Amino acid sequence: MKLLEDRIHLEGRVLGNDILKVDRFLTHQIDYKLMKAIGKRFADVFADSGVTKVITIEASGIAPAIYAAEALDVPMVFAKKAKNITMNDELLTTEVYSFTKKMTSTVQISKKFIEENDKVLIIDDFLANGQAALGLIKLMEQANSEVVGLGMVIEKSFQDGRKQLLDKGLKLVSLARIEKFEKGEVVFAKADDS
């Protein structure tokens, strides 16, 4: 998605060897116009997938996910990382290990929000090692719902996530694919939607 790649070139900052800071439009301050365009693009590429629900994980997945849900005209549900005091329903729950943060967290969704036979589109801001996405897939398996695809805003193609998800036979669409960082600049691979 050219609009997104241009924005990454303009406002993204490379930190160390493998982190891209995008807090000016995605992970802290949010550009709703860009998010809306991203949501629309996901809706277009998954238009024929029969999506009944969009799923993401808090916090930074929520913005692109809500606009994808709007464009597909379906509900959006986000997995929570900490157990809220009002979450006394039956839960779908799994552990997610983050290689970036070197810690494990529990993620959960109330059972009542995912129905058997739901066709789920998983959206997230970053695809790195794929652990968050694999965790969401496990939650959907617990609910006997079907994952019909994954939409990632930014994929770091030099990490393992893409392979993990394609190995499961899933349809993956990443709107910006980062092949590598070179002298502090982002080098893109061909995006899935281009």
Closer to ligand G4P by CB, 39 or 130: give it.
130
Restricted to residues 9-68, the positions that interact with Na ion (CB under 5 A) are 27, 60-61
Q: Which is nearer to ligand G4P, 91 or 123 (CB)?
A: 123
**Between 19 and 45, whose beta carbon lies closer to ligand G4P?**
19
Helix (H) or strand (E) holding 39: helix 32-45
> Any known ligand binding at 130?
yes
Asked if residues 113 and 103 have their Cβ atoms less than 8 Å apart, the reply is no
Sign of CA dihedral 53, 55, 59, 63: negative
Q: Is 68 a known ligand-binding residue? A: no
43 carries a ligand binding annotation: no
Query: Is 27 assigned to a binding site?
Result: yes
Residue closest to 66 by CA, chosen among 22, 123, 139, 134: 123
Residue 94 interface partner, choices ligand G4P, Na ion, none, CB cut-off 5-8 Å depending on type: none
Return the SS3 of 20.
strand
Residue type, 173: V
Residue 191 DSSP one-character state: P
Binding residues for ligand G4P, per CB under 6 A?
Answer: 19-22, 27, 58-60, 98-101, 125-132, 156, 161
What are the φ/ψ torsions at residue 81 (nearest 5 degrees)?
A: -95, -30
Given the rule CB under 5 A, which residues bind Na ion? Answer: 27, 60-61, 124-125
Binding residues for xanthine: 20, 27, 156
